[in-house]
Amino acid sequence: MDLSSILSSALVVFFNLLDMLIFIRVLLSWFPFSHGNPIVALIYQLTEPILGPVRSLIQRSVLGGRGMMIDFSPIIALLLLEFAKNILIYLTTLI
């Protein structure tokens, strides 16, 4: 295996892990789990650096606001992560 394929594989694994953690966080929001639970706290700590900025951008946009009933930040974050993954994998092919 050459360097670009190893790097591409590592990027795919990393972004798939992030996608999975965001999806788990969405599912956890549907159930009354305590944030004191160490696993739940870890998932929130790992995903908040991604979801927090996206959530604040949505609130400042025309579409956002305080009255929204549904948090669209996980969907937008997943789209942005997919876009970033595709760009980074393309860049690894140039190596």
> What pTM was computed for the model?
0.88
Based on the number of CB atoms within 10 Å of its own CB, is 90 exposed (0-12), middle (13-18) or buried (19 or more)?
exposed
Each domain of the chain, given as residue ranges in start order, spans: 3-16+34-93
Tell me the C-alpha distance between 43 and 90, whole Å: 29
Per-residue pLDDT of the chain (95 residues; tens, 9 = 90+): 798 899 999 999 999 999 999 999 999 999 888 878 899 999 999 999 999 999 998 888 776 666 677 889 999 999 999 999 999 999 999 88
CA dist., res. 19 & res. 26, Å (int): 11
Structure tokens at 1: 């295996």
